[in-house]
Amino acid sequence: MNLLAIVFVAILANNIVLNQFLGICPYLGVSKRIETSLGMGMAVIFVMTISSIVTWIIDILLLQPFDLVYLRTIAFILVIAGLVQLVETVLKKTNPTLFRALGIYLPLITTNCTILGVALLNVQAGNNIIETIVYAISVAVGFTLALVIMAGIRERLELATLSSYLRGAAVSLVTAGILSLAFMGFKGMMTL
Amino acid sequence: MSTLAQEFSKGILKENPTFRLILGMCPTLAVTASAINGFGMGISALVVLLCSNILVAALRNVIPDKVRIPAYILIIATFTTIVDMVLNAFAPDLHKALGIFIPLIVVNCIILGRAEAFARKNNVVRSIIDALGMGLGFTLSLTILGIIRELFGSGSIFGVNVMGTAFEPMGILATAPGAFITLGVMLGFVNYMFRRLRIE
């Protein structure tokens, strides 16, 4: 698959949140305000790129040559959990401004299933390193896009008169459904 | 101290992971296009939850507090890998349908949540009851969602056609937007019922 197609499919046609249902928890959790959702998006772009590269290298250099592919899930989740911790420590020392901006979102990312999901999808699809990096960044951008759009809608939804039964998660899910319907339109633009 | 029966029923009703705690949303949305997939996912998560709860409760005095989260993740990842292999060997169709969401049981917040909130403070028996209740609550919610989406989205239940040939399926319910909308409406409905029946 050429790289442009990967970018298009990952951001729009097959959006990670709205079409593949990964990362729903942060999608519902941190989409209350545009600023916080942007912060979360940036943190996800950052961590997903690094973790995809690292897990790809581990898969090629360690798991596959030694016939340990069945340990993928365990190896990847441990690497990701450790990596998030490492990124946090390194950022704190070297780039305090960025650290303050990403701040509280970094630890939340360990439980974000998009990170593990994308790492697994990449090695399962047999992508090479360039495709892996492009795919990881595109997926994360797609996640940020969906998150920011959702935050914009929810900021206005706060002011709407709504049945008390539907407030919170229920109405957010229905909104996400309508958004997902809109994103489905992109599927017609390219045959996957 | 609540009784074992209360411990069991809270997962199904009062603290239902899907409808009340809104946990584990990714598999809930992704695999419920058909009832059998929802049921399969629920049972897979139940098995992992049960095993991890037993082990976490049994080792609760051994695992040091500072490294407990990595230890729990390792325990959960081990059982997830076992479930992955068992499904691949004995139910290849289900394994294929659930796809990436089987390894992703590792990051299902319900399982880590129960280890952290319950199993590490309670004995093995209570942890088993807790896991069974929570797991069944999750399975039940997923199966109900699967039945609704399959019934209206393709006119069948568990793969058996029940609506007859004259029924025009609402294809949207079987696709991604349908998942979000069905779950959103269900949540609203459950909120309404809980408030109506004063279950709190």
Looking at the complex, report in whole angstroms how far the Cα of residue A130 sits from the nearest Cα belonging to chain B.
Answer: 22
Q: Which of A14, A110, A115, A165 to mutate to test the interface with B (most CBs of B within 10 A)?
A: A165
Length, in residues, of chain B: 200
Q: Scanning every residue of chain B, which has its alpha carbon at the shortest distance from the alpha carbon of A174? A: B181
Taking one residue from A and the other from B, the number of pairs with CB-CB distance under 8 angstroms is 116
**Nearest Cα to B34, choosing from B147, B167, B139, B175?**
B147
Question: Helix or strand or coil: residue B198?
Answer: coil
Structure tokens at A20: 């593949």
Say yes or no for a CB contact (<8 Å) between B176 and A78: no
ipTM of the complex in this document: 0.85
CA gap A21, B30 in Å, rounded: 6
Q: Which domain holds residue B187?
A: 4-197
Most confident of A92-101, A161-170, B75-84: B75-84
**3-state SS, one letter per residue, for B55-74:** HHHHCCCCCCHHHHHHHHHH
The nearest CA of chain A is from the CA of B4 a distance in Å of: 30
Confidence of residue B22 (pLDDT cuts 50, 70, 90): confident
Q: What is the pLDDT of residues A29-74, one digit of tens each?
A: 888 888 888 888 888 898 899 999 999 999 999 988 888 888 888 8
What is the domain count for chain B? 1
Q: Which residues of B touch A (CB under 8 A)?
A: 22-23, 25-27, 29-30, 69-70, 73-74, 77-78, 80-81, 84-85, 100, 103-104, 106-109, 112, 172, 175-181, 183-185, 187-189, 191-192, 195
CB B17 within 8 Å of CB B117: no
Largest CA distance in chain B: 62
User: Hey, are the CB atoms on A24 and B26 less than 8 Å from each other?
Assistant: yes
Long-range pairs for A1-10 at CB < 8 Å and ≥24 separation? Answer: A1/A131, A3/A130, A3/A131, A3/A134, A5/A190, A6/A131, A6/A134, A6/A135, A6/A138, A7/A134, A7/A138, A8/A186, A8/A189, A8/A190, A9/A190, A9/A192, A10/A135, A10/A138, A10/A139, A10/A141, A10/A142
**C-alpha–C-alpha distance, residues A13 and A189, integer Å:** 8
Q: Quick one: CA torsion of B185, B187, B193, B194, rounded to 10 degrees?
A: -170
* Per-residue pLDDT tens over the stretch A72-94: 888 998 888 888 888 888 888 88
Q: What is the DSSP string of A150-164?
A: HHHHHHHHTTS---T
pLDDT tens-place string over residues A137-188: 999 999 999 999 999 999 998 888 888 888 888 899 999 999 999 998 888 7
A28 touches chain B (CB under 8 A): yes
Report, in this order, helix, strand and coil percent for chain A, each rounded to 5. Answer: 75, 0, 25
Q: Domain map of chain A by residue range?
A: 2-188
